[in-house]
Structure 1
Amino acid sequence: MAFTKSLLTILTAAGLALAQSSTQFCDSSSGICFQGYTDPDFDVTVGFVLPPISTPPSDEFIVQLVAPVSNGYTGISVGGTMADSLLFTLWPYNNELILGPRWTSGYVLPTAYAGPQITLLPSSSINSTHIKATFRCQNCTIWEGGSLGSGDLTSFQVVAYVVATTTKPSDPADVDSVIQEHDDFNFFGLDLSMAHSDSYSSYIGGSVTTSAPASTTTHPTSTSHSSTVISTTSSAPSATQTEWGQCGGTGFTGPTVCASGLTCVAVSPPYYYQCQV
């Protein structure tokens, strides 16, 4: 996701006043409400929902990203610029969602970024026109070189997004694939004070450690994504994971054995594996 330097220039020179403003929208299929923005030109929707304000502040949030399935890739910069920001890239491959965090210190290819724990939610899907990723991101409010809202989760945050319409990842099966510069970008102003929800725990199934929240979109997406089935072992046989809970992935230390009737499947390898029926 190669944001050009013009993005940084725009944000520095124009400030926050030029950013599109976020509004609330809710997903009719999941009932989850987000604070975000839909770009009518790019046909991209980006939304965020955060847990209730607390002390100490939470380190997680839920993101929804909806984009045309025809895009080579779509990306988000949580910090609003390419450099020193938490980035995400998303694209479809063989009816699977390929989603992962990236980071870079300059205007060069962002590489895989360790630390964030991503959990795809059940409402994530692909159909003939759109890809929708709804995911819980833990350990995500602070990253190398920055933080959400500059550490104030009731402030204002510029969020940027990019689209690659003429290029595709060199290896679309690999979440860490080399990608070429995007074709276009835009950004919006996210009012973090309006993004907190008292329903957050229900969005993630009542668990803050094993399950993930649901997302919203203005685009109907009815065809669920498929994923590759994997076998797992566990160092703690007595610990089992529940449906939709994470069962493997880079840096994951929780249960890797699913409860009876569930199978651990690769949703966004190598970062995230999930227990599904």
Structure 2
Amino acid sequence: MSYKLAVALVLTAASLASAQVASSYCDASSGICFQGYKDPTLDMTIGVVLPPDSTPASNEYIVNFVVPVSYGWTGISMGGQMSNSLLFTMWPYNSQIMLGPRWTNDYVLPLPYAGPEITLLPASKVNSTHINAIFRCQNCTVWEGGSLGSGNLDGTAVLAYVASTDVGVEDPSDIDSSFQEHNNFDFFGLDLSQAHSASYSKYIGGGSTTSAPSGPSSTTVPPSTTSTAPQGTQTAYGQCGGTGYTGPTVCASGFTCVAVSPPYYSQCQPSK
């Protein structure tokens, strides 16, 4: 069966002008408190809570993702863009939550990504109006081509979210299903220093359903073999600056580092 490739989650200067900033809220069904954003237009909520600061730093967090059950599929980018980011895609199937990690190095359909371990917590549910997914993600702060908060878990992260409000996935019973391009997206800034919670160990108690990508699981992040840019040079549409960012600041040939959401986020965009 043919499908239309999911394409760019490109953060343009115009759209970033309206970027929102996370605030604190608590999920009523679980009692877990998050730093996140509630989108009143798309009726979507995205929240994150991290363990207390530690040395070495923890590699996990809990995410709250609340979306209308009528949407075909929805997703989160933990790196603020589509390529070289840890992505989560989600849709309902009967009364189940179909949720899994994905990754891509280009603006094409992201494929299941081995490494992250996702556990849906007991308060997760699907009702007549919404999906409320609350999931623990282990081995999730670093991924191929990037990391949460550019490696600073007390810095600033830009999270993006997408929705296909009218077209579902090809096979909703298959967590690895292909799907068409989303028709909505937005993003927000998250101060990770405010997302750590001393109650984290209580929050993770009693996980239930586990969903994992196809293929062998791994506890390490696989080495990147997809980038064609020289070492120390950022690829097209990759992050090249922003608060707490420590990666490459020089863009590949034909691209320029643009401050699209100062001071939080700069991105390699085509040179004019």
Structures share a fold, TM > 0.5? yes
Q: CA deviation at 1:165?
A: 1.1
The SS at the match of 2:10 is: helix
- For 1:189-200, what aligned pairs fall within 5 Å after superposition? 189-200=189-200
Q: Matched residues in 2 for 1:157 and 1:143: separation? A: 14
Amino acid corresponding to residue 95 of structure 1 in structure 2:
S
Q: CA deviation at 1:28?
A: 2.1
Amino acid corresponding to residue 166 of structure 1 in structure 2:
D
Q: CA deviation at 1:82?
A: 0.3
Q: Matched residues in 2 for 1:69 and 1:138: separation? A: 26
Is 1:177 the counterpart of 2:177? The answer is yes
Amino acid corresponding to residue 204 of structure 2 in structure 1:
I
Q: Matched residues in 1 for 2:154 and 2:201: separation? A: 19
> Residue 141 and residue 2 in structure 1: after superposition, are their counterparts in 2 closer, same or farther (change >3 A)?
farther
User: What are structure 1's unaligned runs of at least 5 residues?
Assistant: 206-210, 213-243, 254-277
Which residue of 1 is the match for residue 31 of structure 2?
31
Which residue of 2 is the match for residue 48 of structure 1?
48
Checking the alignment, whether the CA contact within 8 Å between 2:118 and 2:212 is kept in structure 1 is no
Q: CA deviation at 1:21?
A: 0.5
Q: Matched residues in 2 for 1:248 and 1:163: separation? A: 21
Amino acid corresponding to residue 136 of structure 1 in structure 2:
R
Checking the alignment, whether the CA contact within 8 Å between 1:73 and 1:164 is kept in structure 2 is yes
Which residue of 1 is the match for residue 162 of structure 2?
162
The TM-score, its normalising length taken from structure 1, stands at 0.72
Deviates more, 1:64-73 or 1:27-36: 27-36
Identity over aligned residues, as a percent? 60
Which residue of 1 is the match for residue 227 of structure 2?
none
Is 1:108 the counterpart of 2:108? The answer is yes
Deviates more, 1:26-35 or 1:14-23: 14-23
Checking the alignment, whether the CA contact within 8 Å between 2:118 and 2:211 is kept in structure 1 is no
> Residue 193 and residue 16 in structure 1: after superposition, are their counterparts in 2 closer, same or farther (change >3 A)?
farther
Q: CA deviation at 1:31?
A: 1.4
Q: Deviations over 1:34-92 (max 9, x none)?
A: 00000000000000000001111000000010000000001000100000000011100
Q: CA deviation at 1:19?
A: 2.1
Q: Matched residues in 2 for 1:90 and 1:249: separation? A: 13
Structure 1 runs, 4 residues or longer, greater than 3 Å off: 1-5, 13-18, 244-253
Q: Matched residues in 1 for 2:14 and 2:115: separation? A: 32
Q: Matched residues in 2 for 1:84 and 1:185: separation? A: 17
- For 1:198-217, what aligned pairs fall within 5 Å after superposition? 198-205=198-205, 211-212=206-207
Q: CA deviation at 1:196?
A: 0.3
Which residue of 2 is the match for residue 208 of structure 1?
none
Checking the alignment, whether the CA contact within 8 Å between 1:2 and 1:82 is kept in structure 2 is no
Q: CA deviation at 1:160?
A: 0.3
Q: CA deviation at 1:246?
A: 5.8
Q: CA deviation at 1:94?
A: 1.3
Which residue of 2 is the match for residue 121 of structure 1?
121
Which residue of 1 is the match for residue 89 of structure 2?
89
Amino acid corresponding to residue 10 of structure 2 in structure 1:
L
Q: Matched residues in 2 for 1:18 and 1:116: separation? A: 31
Q: Matched residues in 2 for 1:200 and 1:31: separation? A: 11
Which residue of 2 is the match for residue 225 of structure 1?
none
Checking the alignment, whether the CA contact within 8 Å between 1:3 and 1:185 is kept in structure 2 is no
The SS at the match of 2:122 is: coil
RMSD of aligned alpha carbons: 2.3
The SS at the match of 1:38 is: strand
Deviates more, 1:28-37 or 1:154-163: 28-37
Q: CA deviation at 1:249?
A: 8.2
> Residue 200 and residue 9 in structure 1: after superposition, are their counterparts in 2 closer, same or farther (change >3 A)?
closer
Checking the alignment, whether the CA contact within 8 Å between 1:164 and 1:183 is kept in structure 2 is yes
Q: Deviations over 1:104-155 (max 9, x none)?
A: 0000000000000001000100100001110000000000000000000001
Deviates more, 1:138-147 or 1:23-32: 23-32
Q: Matched residues in 2 for 1:249 and 1:89: separation? A: 11
The SS at the match of 1:150 is: helix
